[in-house]
Structure 1
């Protein structure tokens, strides 16, 4: 066997041994003793998701609570199973009323809202949307994103999705 081959074998063996030792140390460092594992399981179960509502005929939940945070499905301007008439202002008002009803149903208030996302089919409606949004929510306003989209369910002009926390 040549000196070059012996050196290569020695180097490879050292690298493999170092890698195996590193892996063993990593595994032992991240392994939790049985008592810590039990504590972790208990804390996870306290913050396990709780799903609310069945979405009716649609495949989603109305809201999901994780810890003290409530994640709500998007709302459009539906009332009594139909999209309200009156355009962006009426739809925005109804969508926010629907959000408020969901909040109350699960023990939250409008003041608990921390984040909203708004989807509008016509960004020219942004000013009218903001006027209604401003009258329905108070300072400090939740953080918000707004997106222009091609279309929304049921021909809606706006959909609003929020998160709330206590």
Structure 2
């Protein structure tokens, strides 16, 4: 099966040895996105809400570059340094996604790159 590397300037450039996404057949594996502004590569972190919105904006940009959208997500993983923000993730997620929602995991972690409080990755299936 062929692999296609997905890259867009509308999402932060990879800050390590990975691609923004990899498409294999009709499945797209999106790398984790932290709340970096794609133009400045600085953290958007005035509030946790700002961080969550930026993460979903970044995921949406990569999904669009791959030929899909947030509605095509089959699986979403959300990583939080404070699970006390879980309700806020649900609230904001509802503004980006509609039913049927993707399968999801929310995982508490000790730390994330660049001091971010939230990161998310996803698996998307496009027809």
User: What is the TM-score normalised by the length of structure 1?
Assistant: 0.68
The structure carrying a bigger strand percent of its residues is 2
Structure 1 stretches of 4+ moved >6 Å: none
Q: After the TM superposition, which residues 1-166 of structure 1 pair with which residues of structure 2 at under 5 Å, given as runs?
A: 47-53=1-7, 55-79=13-37, 80-166=40-126
Quote the Cα distance in structure 1 between the aligned partners of 2:112 and 2:123. 20
Quote the Cα distance in structure 1 between the aligned partners of 2:24 and 2:66. 12
Q: Return the index of the structure with the highest Cα Rg.
A: 1
Q: Which runs of 5+ in 2 are unaligned?
A: none
Q: Which runs of 5+ in 1 are unaligned?
A: 1-46
CA contact (8 A) 1:77 1:83 kept: yes
Q: Which has the higher contact order (CA 8 A, sep 6+)?
A: 2
Describe the SS at the equivalent of 2:45: coil
Quote the Cα distance in structure 2 between the aligned partners of 1:122 and 1:57. 23
User: What is the TM-score normalised by the length of structure 2?
Assistant: 0.88
Describe the SS at the equivalent of 2:32: coil
Question: CA deviation digits over 1:51-106, x for unaligned, max 9?
Answer: 23395452101111111000000001111211113322111110000010111112
Quote the Cα distance in structure 2 between the aligned partners of 1:147 and 1:138. 22
Describe the SS at the equivalent of 1:73: strand
Task: Kindly report the root-mean-square deviation, in angstroms, between the aligned alpha carbons of the 2 structures.
Answer: 1.5
Quote the Cα distance in structure 2 between the aligned partners of 1:142 and 1:81. 28
